[in-house]
Amino acid sequence: MSRKPKTEITWDTFAEGLWRENPVFVMLLGMCPVLAVSNTAMNSLAMGLATTFVLLTSGALISILRNFIPKQVRIATYIVIIATFVTIVDYTIQAISLDLYNALGAFIQLIVVNCIILGRAEAFASKNTLARTVVNATGMGLGFTLALLCIGVVREVLGAGALFGIDLFGPSFEPWVVMILPPGGFIILGMWLLIFEYVRRSRADAAKSEEVKHAA
Amino acid sequence: MQPDSLSFIFLNAVLINNFVLALFLGLCPFLGVSGKLDTAFPMGLATMFVMLVSSTCAYGINLVLNHFDIQFLRLISYIAVIASAVQLVEMTMKKFTPALFRALGIFLPLITTNCAILGLALFQTFKEYNFLQSLVYAIGAGVGFTLAIVLMAGLREKLSLANVPGAVQGAALSLMLGGMLSLAFMGFAGLGGSH
């Protein structure tokens, strides 16, 4: 294995986390917080930003230390580094807004075991320079936040008839309560995946028929 | 039923607040290893064992942390204990059931990052359960996890024979199934109060 890390930073370094390798919709990582806290758009946003912060800081530290961490104990080291930053986030959110802290519950502390963070530490931060890691982690974090918002917005609009706590439809709207409850999380994420898969397939079909036309 | 009686804690963890279907903990193995019944059941048992070990350790650690008033180290020490417990299970399985060890593959070490386990340790701390209650809570959570993953595996084995439209196959279908199961488990909410 060549030890020389890639140094160039391209647009793709940033954008792969946003779309092509979106952690939630494509890689299906870190599903637990995605489904658990996405019942309102506000919670989704807070959770997304908290995760982005941990991704960024732990990625940066691991990238700096990557040549000092022995290979055998790397996972344990990563976990301890991640746990440290999560503790910081935990106390910070508690200080900023107690309401938000109570709404997110144990899921702030559970960022430690979010597969995305450990996955990126292992797959990217441990092999790349600081600058590249920071750019990539920002993209991944924003991709995660975006996915959470996609789910959170749909669930809040359908389940409470509101967006960011602002009433949308007036008193005549009968809220679809199941969307805020656990089953709604599964179903809405399933629907999003279905839509993406459908789009991907119809694009592939279109490309194929284009080819056939060319050949004819 | 008293909210802190042992039977209530057990039922609560298995059915009412099922870790997978109501609290969304441990979804990665729930979606990843539920393809076949043969692997789903042992995965449930392994998770239950790790839950028991880490719950016991977490109880001890919490006593020490409270004694020295250093609760901010809770997260770090819990995760370290869980990682070692998983390592233990991994070594035991490799020695005694190598075939199973290979079948579970990457998902065995990933029990470390299974939020159900850390979640269990954190919840029992928040709820201030005593030692016996923590133990029952851990067993209940393990049984609940096994129940959910086995149900899911049974459904998916049946569905693999069904003729499903192309775009729905894969993750989307699993999530929908999870949603239906979760909906079914909501019926147990009538058994007791929330949490």
- Average pLDDT (B80-87) is 82
- Average pLDDT (B111-135) is 86
Nearest to B47 by CA among B120, B136, B156: B120
| Length of chain B in terms of residues written | 195
Nearest to B168 among A31, A106, A194 (CB): A194
Nearest to A189 by CA among A29, A4, A8: A29
| Cα A185 → chain centroid | 15
Q: Is the dihedral of CA B180, A100, A42, A44 positive or negative?
A: negative
For residue B159, the enclosing domain spans: 40-185
- Which structure tokens are listed for A94? 């508690």
- The answer to whether position B18 is within a domain reads no
Select from B23, B24, B145, B169 the residue whose CB has the most chain A CBs within 10 Å, as the one to mutate to test that interface.
B24
| Predicted local distance difference test score (pLDDT) of residue A105 | 80
Choice between B71 and B107, residue whose per-residue pLDDT is larger: B71
- The answer to whether position B70 is within a domain reads yes
Alpha-carbon gap, residue A122 to A120, rounded angstroms? 5
> Which residue do the tokens 């070990």 mark?
B53
With an 8 Å Cβ cutoff, are B175 and A183 in contact? no
Nearest to A112 by CA among A137, A80, A144, A141: A80
Alpha-carbon gap, residue A120 to A145, rounded angstroms? 16
| Cα A49 → chain centroid | 9
pLDDT band, very low/low/confident/very high, at B1 (cuts 50, 70, 90): low
Alpha-carbon gap, residue A202 to B132, rounded angstroms? 56
- Average pLDDT (B100-108) is 75
Cα B42 to Cα B93, B141, B177, B192: the distances in Å are 10, 15, 21, 30
Give B76 to chain A, closest Cα distance, Å. Answer: 6
ipTM for the complex?
0.80
- The answer to whether position B12 is within a domain reads no
Domain count for chain B, please give it.
Answer: 1
> Which residue do the tokens 């990843």 mark?
B32
Nearest to A193 among B118, B171, B180 (CB): B171
Alpha-carbon gap, residue A27 to A33, rounded angstroms? 15
pLDDT band, very low/low/confident/very high, at B39 (cuts 50, 70, 90): confident
Nearest to A140 by CA among A151, A129, A128, A124: A124
**Residue segments in chain A with a per-residue pLDDT below the cut of 70:** 1-7, 216
> Which residue do the tokens 């991907």 mark?
A200
- The answer to whether position B94 is within a domain reads yes
**Beta strands A162-163; A166-167: pairing state:** antiparallel
With an 8 Å Cβ cutoff, are B24 and A112 in contact? no
Cβ neighbours, 10 Å, residue A181: 16
With an 8 Å Cβ cutoff, are B83 and A79 in contact? yes
**pLDDT for residue B186 is more than 60:** yes
- The answer to whether position B23 is within a domain reads no
Query: Strand ranges (DSSP E) for B84-125?
Result: none
Give B5 to chain A, closest Cα distance, Å. Answer: 23
* Cβ contact A176:A68 at 8 Å: no
| Predicted local distance difference test score (pLDDT) of residue A216 | 67
The single-letter DSSP state of residue B2 is -
| Predicted local distance difference test score (pLDDT) of residue B8 | 85
Amino acid in position A138: T
| Predicted local distance difference test score (pLDDT) of residue A39 | 84
- The answer to whether position B4 is within a domain reads no
| Cα A111 → chain centroid | 11
Contact list, A51 vs chain B (CB under 8 Å): none
Cα A17 to Cα A129, A138, A142, A161, B32: the distances in Å are 17, 8, 8, 31, 22
- The answer to whether position B2 is within a domain reads no
> Which residue do the tokens 């390798």 mark?
A21
pLDDT tens digits for A46-86? Answer: 999 999 999 999 999 999 998 888 887 787 788 889 999 99
Amino acid in position B40: A
Nearest to A113 among B21, B23, B115 (CB): B115
Cβ neighbours, 10 Å, residue B77: 18
Residues above pLDDT 90, as percent of chain B:
11
pLDDT tens digits for B163-181? Answer: 887 777 778 888 888 888 9
| Predicted local distance difference test score (pLDDT) of residue A6 | 62
Nearest to A78 by CA among B118, B76, B116: B76
pLDDT band, very low/low/confident/very high, at B36 (cuts 50, 70, 90): confident
The contacts of residue A139 (CB under 8 Å, 6+ apart) are A13, A14, A15, A16, A17, A18
Alpha-carbon gap, residue B111 to B108, rounded angstroms? 6
Average pLDDT, chain B: 84
- The answer to whether position B154 is within a domain reads yes
